[in-house]
Structure 1
Amino acid sequence: MTITSAERNRAGCLTVSGDLKNDGASTAVVPAELRGNELDVLRTDPSLGGATVVDFAQRKRYYVLRDTDGRPLTTTGLSTLKVGESVHVFMQFPAPPTSTTTVGFQLPLFDTANIKISG
């Protein structure tokens, strides 16, 4: 996964966007672990609902926002990626304070990535 942007908006949300690509030699099944293990999220389509953003300076972790039905505000319907296939993805979080410009992005099965917030 390649993060392409992390933008804070005036509504108080942080949207992290990127591309999930299969660089392997065969079709890849998108792991179920990426959706996380919260009961509401487990009832939804495959997603990136397990992603979190960590503000290390404030010692706070932010989880993917949910709509009123408990569905994560993130790309859903991910199941498989063919060889070389790439899909644009997004995840929306509560925004950290404006004084926070760098956060850790965490997605199950991936290493933590430090990303800069714009906006």
Structure 2
Amino acid sequence: MRTMRRAGAAALLSAALTFSLTACGGDGDGDPKSKEQGTSAPSQSGGDDKGSAAPEQKPSEPIARVKGDGGLELSVFSARRDEGGFLTIDGQINNTGSQGFTVPVQWNGLEQAVAATGRSFAGMTLVDSKGKKRYYVLRDTDNRPLTTYAYNSYIKPGQTLTFFAQFPAPPQTTTTVALQFPGFPSTSIELS
């Protein structure tokens, strides 16, 4: 009797597993090209994308672009207000130079509290000159900055590091802020 129960349970489990694998096996059209389109090539972002929530596709033209130290170029693609009272900056840093670039510790910000997170964009600030306020990258309840973090500390020539950073949203009357980031001149960005 036990043997029959075990055999029945094994057959049921096998059928359920086969059904699960079939259901999860693809998009159902049998076209191998459609499966390839769903996979993405490895990103050329300077390392792990931990903490990164930057969108995959960027508009063709940035809303701001500025050249910095060591052949780096910072591009901002969006500065959008979120419903929760946040402002999210999405952008990328490209190494347009012929030499590799070692990320300076100043990018992490000067606060001891965020030092434990390692490499981040916590050193980025926004300045509302009209409202006379400076905005810092937000922190979560564990004091981790709400920005891209734990990326590779070395950006090779031609490599791109995609980033995001969240700030408290300035008042609706503020339409332009200055983005300040160590190693780059201040640049003005329009808020959406």
| TM-score, scaled relative to structure 1 | 0.95
Q: Which position in structure 1 is the counterpart of 2:119?
A: 46
Q: Report how many aligned residue pairs link the two structures.
A: 118
Query: CA offsets per residue over residues 61-110 of structure 1, 9 Å max, x none?
Result: 11000011111000112311111000210110000001111001111121
Q: Which position in structure 1 is the counterpart of 2:99?
A: 26
Query: CA offsets per residue over residues 1-28 of structure 1, 9 Å max, x none?
Result: 1111100111000001111111111221
Q: Which position in structure 2 is the counterpart of 1:36?
A: 109
Q: Which position in structure 1 is the counterpart of 2:64?
A: none
Q: Which position in structure 2 is the counterpart of 1:93?
A: 167
- Could you tell me how far apart the structure 2 residues matched to 1:77 and 1:19 are? 15
Question: What is the correspondence of 1:8-23 to structure 2 with a 5 Å cutoff?
Answer: 8-23=81-96
Q: Which has the higher strand share?
A: 1
Query: CA offsets per residue over residues 21-73 of structure 1, 9 Å max, x none?
Result: 11111221111111111011112120110111111111001100001111100
Q: Which position in structure 2 is the counterpart of 1:55?
A: 128
Identity of aligned residues (%): 46
| TM-score, scaled relative to structure 2 | 0.60
Q: Which has the larger radius of gyration?
A: 2
Q: Which position in structure 2 is the counterpart of 1:69?
A: 142
After the TM superposition, which segments of 4 or more aligned residues of structure 1 sit over 3 Å from their partners? none
Q: CA RMSD in A?
A: 0.9
